[in-house]
Structure 1
């Protein structure tokens, strides 16, 4: 069976069912027709094209998913078009949905999951803080104090993607009584919540990230996610989520490779197509190798997770490796497109810049390396 993508050299996409490939075709049609034409202008303006959201919701992608592998290729397809659009969608389908489904009580999951899948109930993942990113496990400073049937939260969050357009924040805070991390569903319009869009970004400019202040915010005990009672529970969420980021990193580099390939086959220098030059072909072959290796890794990781095998080191290894290959791939794409590679018109510049954010979020390269290193040596190198 023919691969669904020009960058799928080893034919991983035919592992999907015919019905799943049809859903991806529907997604691609929306991305090509309704999303792609808006990207350059919105990237330059630093604004999200919210007019695409109803089109994305109509596809009902979460309810049409029949396998974990389809979910991975869904993220791949989104990121192959744009990393910000993939990140926006994954904030709902991956980060928020996973937090509720793994962190909520059975009653909370039953009440909320169907609404999350249809975007009737939108939320984001609010963990990172201004002074605590990589050291969030021990450094998380947002506090939660129990007061009868409610809690009072105080603190700050930073880099929270999609917060300004969401209904709720999944806020992680440290319980003053036992020093353990808890999670709360906080309405974005609640008294005591202030959101401020982060300006002057050079990566993921389309994605709206926010600084958030929480001042004497009252949250009911019924809005606390009942199965998150320590950072170990948060780490279990991250184990699942990192595979989504690895898929996004893989899709982003596929998009950069395919954009570069389109350009070099249409551009002439010295009287012939630049695709005919040896150095161009060598770089294209290296890019394709990076995409292929990354696809092999995320496909196998997803198959393991669907079979019930979730390990912190495997998801960390996938995020670490795929993001490193992504950085290499987008740099080569920029090179082969030459001076035009720094303009938005070829798409390559957007992929090149956006890769930097994907490289860092949901665990930096260094942190994921240490998670893997701890697993393979038995020694923790964390400070």
Structure 2
């Protein structure tokens, strides 16, 4: 009885908030006695909610932050490392994100951003003399995520410069070549490209190249073609890998843009990584000085040392692409209203989001451990290959689900996910296909090589 009295008292308090004119108008539309009767039967919780609704001061629901780092890997960074991560994030969000879709659609590169990237001073972090080597691979990976979560093309451009090109010079160049090229590449006063893949030779590079090199005293003559060479259309130097006609071993050469016999044609009509300027490189009787041959590159094994390091970087890049798609999809589902509610409140949408986050979190923890191994000088081919296989596969799955929860809007560039979907296809293939990387891991765990 007391509970009923309390509820009626609260209900009367609710009605007192309505002035007499409103009450008179309301009585013509509803049965006030019946309303009072029903209000009296409400429990305190329901009545309190009704009062808040009528007050018009209901506090907007506070949602958790949109953050794909669910296991807080960034919390393992030092304050200085975290500050660097946030500085790169700010650059990508303020400088790259507003123009990414436009440049992606046009298939052009934003050259005006190169000096601004140089100011970040993050190029070549993994190489001695440029940073603390103890954790440099981990930090470089974290920065790769920050770039790729906004635009995988821009991250790829940077990966070629900082990884493939600088890595080749650092690992295989003479001291003179390091002094000439590494500072210029680090400051981005010079842009580099890496030429290994050929029109007819992709996965089979270890078995021989059609690009040939012939020594003539203190010079080499190079003939052949390279395909899919990122940055090639505007590079100051292209590292060209060629088969020595005399000993049939793979050699590396620093081919300068002014070398006679060098031609580069931009590859058009790509469906992925459209900001990356891939070139078809043709060398016709191109003469290169012996001083521009990478002095420590004498076989494909030496080339593989570079690929092992950069393949780990591509795994991080794949994580960034996946994270960008996940975060964009999560934001969309919170804002997209259907049936009077945000679609993020629906069970099936939440199931997709959680599956995406599960894969993303597994990928992040894998690449974090991968870079620990790299920093500890314990990285093997199979370590890098396993990460590349898993991360590129899971990225494909994540971007697919991101597009799915966005419905038809998922194919529009303005929502960003469409670009991630397309770019994931290129990441899936470059730096070794799934099949080749699978066989590298398979050989390591079985002891048998299944390569042809």
TM-score of the superposed pair, with normalisation by structure 2? 0.82
Question: For the residues of structure 1 that align with 2:390 and 2:66, how far apart are their CA atoms?
Answer: 21
Structure 1 residue 143 displacement after superposition: 0.3
Q: State which of 71, 95, 117 in structure 1 corresponds to 2:164.
A: 95
Q: Which moved more, 1:48-57 or 1:307-316?
A: 48-57
Q: Summarize deviations over 1:30-72 as a string: whole Å, max 9, x none.
A: 1111111101111111111222212111111136854221111
Instruction: Return the alpha-carbon distance in structure 2 between the equivalents of residues 5 and 270 of structure 1.
Output: 23
Which has the larger displacement, 300-309 or 65-74?
65-74
Matches within 5 A, 1:53-202: 53-62=114-123, 66=132, 67-202=136-271
Cα distance between partner residues in 2 of 1:272 and 1:375: 51
CA deviations on 1:213-233 (whole Å, 9 max, x unpaired) are 000000000000011100011
The answer to whether the 8 Å contact 1:149/1:220 transfers is yes
**Cα pair 2:212 2:245 within 8 Å, conserved:** yes
Alpha-carbon RMSD across the aligned residues, in angstroms, is 1.3
| Alignment of 1:41 onto 2:41 | no
Asked if structure 2 preserves the Cα contact closer than 8 Å seen for 1:20 and 1:65, the reply is no
Shift in CA distance, 261/47, structure 1 to aligned 2, threshold 3 Å: same
Q: 2:425 aligns with which of 340, 356, 373?
A: 356
In the TM superposition, what is the alpha-carbon distance from 1:112 to its structure 2 partner? 2.3
- Count of equivalent residues: 380
1:5 deviates by 7.7
Of residues 66, 80, 83 in structure 2, which corresponds to 1:22? Answer: 83
Structure 2, unmatched stretches of 5+, are 1-64
**Cα separation, 2, equivalents of 1:236 and 1:294:** 23
TM-score computed with the length of structure 1 as normaliser: 0.97
For the Cα contact (< 8 Å) 2:259–2:288, is it kept in 1? no
Post-superposition offset of 1:108: 2.1
User: Does residue 1:205 correspond to 2:270, yes or no?
Assistant: no
Q: What SS is found at the alignment partner of 1:213?
A: strand
Q: Which moved more, 1:38-47 or 1:363-372?
A: 38-47
Q: Please say which of residues 156-165 and 186-195 is displaced more in the overlay.
A: 186-195
**CA distance 1:358–1:65, shift in 2 (3 Å):** farther
Q: Deviations over 1:232-258 (max 9, x none)?
A: 111111111100000000010000000
Structure 1: 5+ residue stretches without partners: none
1:11 Cα deviation after fit? 1.2
Aligned-partner SS, 2:108: coil
